[in-house]
Every structure is written in structure tokens, then in C-alpha cells.
Amino acid sequence: MNELEALLQKVKNGDMEIDQAAAQITKHLQDQSVADLGFAQIDTEREQRVGFPEVVFGEGKTPEQIILIMQRMMQNSDRILATRIDPNKADLILAELPQVTYHPTARAITWFKRPLLKVHDGYIAVVCAGTSDMPVAEEAAITAEVMGNHVERIYDVGVAGIHRLFRRLDVIRKANAIVVAAGMEGALTSVIGGLVSKPVIAVPTSIGYGASFQGMSALLTMLNSCAPGISVVNIDNGFGAGYYAGLINYNLSKKEQS
């Protein structure tokens, strides 16, 4: 007989009041929802609440900490995403966890217990202005793919050669959500926002010369865009943009199936 059954049996026998049993059950459930590693408190029920497991932010963590976190998460999750993993950390992590996959451009690690059985209907377009913006764009793309979305990548189509964008505009317009990563002055977001009828998630990147102020120039341009339908995430936050786009596509897919 497990702990929960024992509590219910005590209530049935009159050996425990209902409110006492309820308090113990609540505490038990709370204890089960967190895996305490001392240096990390893993939210093991994140996927049940919001549809996707907790994501490991690798920056500032040691390889050993990341390994222990991922090993524990593998007991409860069917997929794991770790972001901001530099190549040196990745080498150490893969030596200990050879079953994971490292995506060097995105600086991300992924793991699946089994292949995704279903990919949501529709797709997300991830667009970046220049090749230098690709690490941020790839972080968004990998995030959306781990969430079960199909992604179309449209890279190096910035406003300095805007004819490159028009060649791929049909693909962009058919997407359910569009992520746009751009540095320098960040103008690509406004251009795309004025050409599409789908939600645009703008990601300012820290790419650019001195007066770009490590992405502040692009951020302010995107926040001040006169094109409607644009939301803006933080500088270099490809993960946040990919996650937001993934939620949009997932909910549209679910609506179409109902």
C-alpha cells in the first residue's frame, strides 16, 4: 500500500480527519512537483501545466550542473532543450550524455526520449536579416521545432538587398507565425510587418557597429515600428521568439483539428 492509499484508508477507518489528509496530500503533491538538486529546483510538472518542459538556460551554469539537471529531467520528460551552451561546455556534456544532440549555430542541446510522433499543422517562418544574425534565428528555429512545429528558414534577406526578401515572400506569407531576427537598425521587421497578415515576433540582435549599442538601436526601431501586428522580445532572445511562435502555431493547429 502506497502513502496515498494509506492516508485514504485512515480516513475511511476514522483514524484521520479529512482536512488533515487533504493537507498531507497537498504537501505530497508539492514535494513531487519539484526535484531538489541543491543548486537547482527542477519544475517536474511544467509540461503538464503549460505544455512544454522546463528549459535549461546554460549560460552561467557549469557543465557538471547542466549534466545533473538533464539527467534528472530525463526521468520525467520526453524531450529537453538547453540553450546558450558554448562549444567547450557542449563537448563535456556530450562526453557524459552521448544521446543528446548539439546544434552549434543555435548553441543549443536537444534530447528526445523518442521521435516526435506528431508535428503540428502549419509552419513557422524564421527570417533573419543577415548571416551574422543566424545564431539568434537558429535558437528560435530549434526552440520551435522541439515544441513540435515545422519551421521554414529564410536567411540573409535584409533590407540592404531587399529583392532577396521578395523572392521568398510567398513562403513567409503562408506561415502561421513569423519570427524576424535583425541587428544593425532592425528595419527588416517593419518591412515584413507591412507585407503580411500574420503575427510577427521581432528579435533585435546585438549585431552591428558602435552606434547600434549592442542591439539597442534595433530594439528601439522594432518597438517604434508603425507596422501593426508586431510583438518584440528581448535582445538576442531567439528562445523567447521561437517559443511564442510555437504557441501560436500550436493553438491554431489545435483549433483547426477541433
Q: Which residue, of 86, 112, 138, is where some domain finishes?
A: 112
Q: What percent of the chain has pLDDT over 90?
A: 65
Is the pLDDT score of 25 beyond 70? no
**CA 96 – CA 86 distance, rounded (Å):** 16
Q: Are residues 130 and 250 in the same domain?
A: yes
More confident residue, 74 or 245: 245
* 118 within a domain of the structure (yes/no): no
Q: Are residues 157 and 252 in the same domain?
A: yes
Burial of 200 (0-12, 13-18, 19+ CB in 10 A): buried
Residue 34, pLDDT score: 66
- If pLDDT is split at 50, 70 and 90, which confidence band does 2 have? low
* pTM across the whole model: 0.82
**CA 173 – CA 220 distance, rounded (Å):** 25
- If pLDDT is split at 50, 70 and 90, which confidence band does 1 have? very low
* 140 within a domain of the structure (yes/no): yes
Average per-residue pLDDT for the chain: 88
Q: Are residues 43 and 97 in the same domain?
A: yes
Residue 13, pLDDT score: 80
Q: Are residues 90 and 48 in the same domain?
A: yes
Average pLDDT over residues 111-131: 87
Is the pLDDT score of 74 beyond 90? no
**Worst-scoring range by mean pLDDT, 36-45, 91-100, 193-202?**
36-45
Closest CA to 84 of 55, 111, 117, 125: 55
pLDDT in tens, 134-189: 999 999 999 999 999 999 999 999 998 999 999 999 999 999 999 999 999 999 99
Q: Are residues 128 and 220 in the same domain?
A: yes
pLDDT in tens, 224-255: 999 999 999 999 999 999 999 999 998 888 76
More confident residue, 7 or 101: 101
Domain carrying residue 71 = 34-112
Q: Are residues 53 and 128 in the same domain?
A: no
* 24 within a domain of the structure (yes/no): yes
Is the pLDDT score of 32 beyond 70? no
Q: Which residue, of 112, 140, 163, is where some domain finishes?
A: 112
**CA 174 – CA 179 distance, rounded (Å):** 13
Residue 101, pLDDT score: 95
Q: Which residue, of 57, 85, 112, is where some domain finishes?
A: 112
Average pLDDT over residues 75-83: 89
Q: Are residues 146 and 252 in the same domain?
A: yes
* 177 touches 124 (CB < 8 A): yes
- What are phi and psi for residue 36, nearest 5 degrees? -90, 110
Q: Are residues 195 and 136 in the same domain?
A: yes
User: CATH no. for residue 253?
Assistant: 3.40.50.1970
Average pLDDT over residues 88-93: 96
Total structural domains in the chain? 3
Q: Is 69 left (phi over 0), alpha (psi -120 to 50) or beta?
A: alpha
Q: Are residues 7 and 52 in the same domain?
A: no
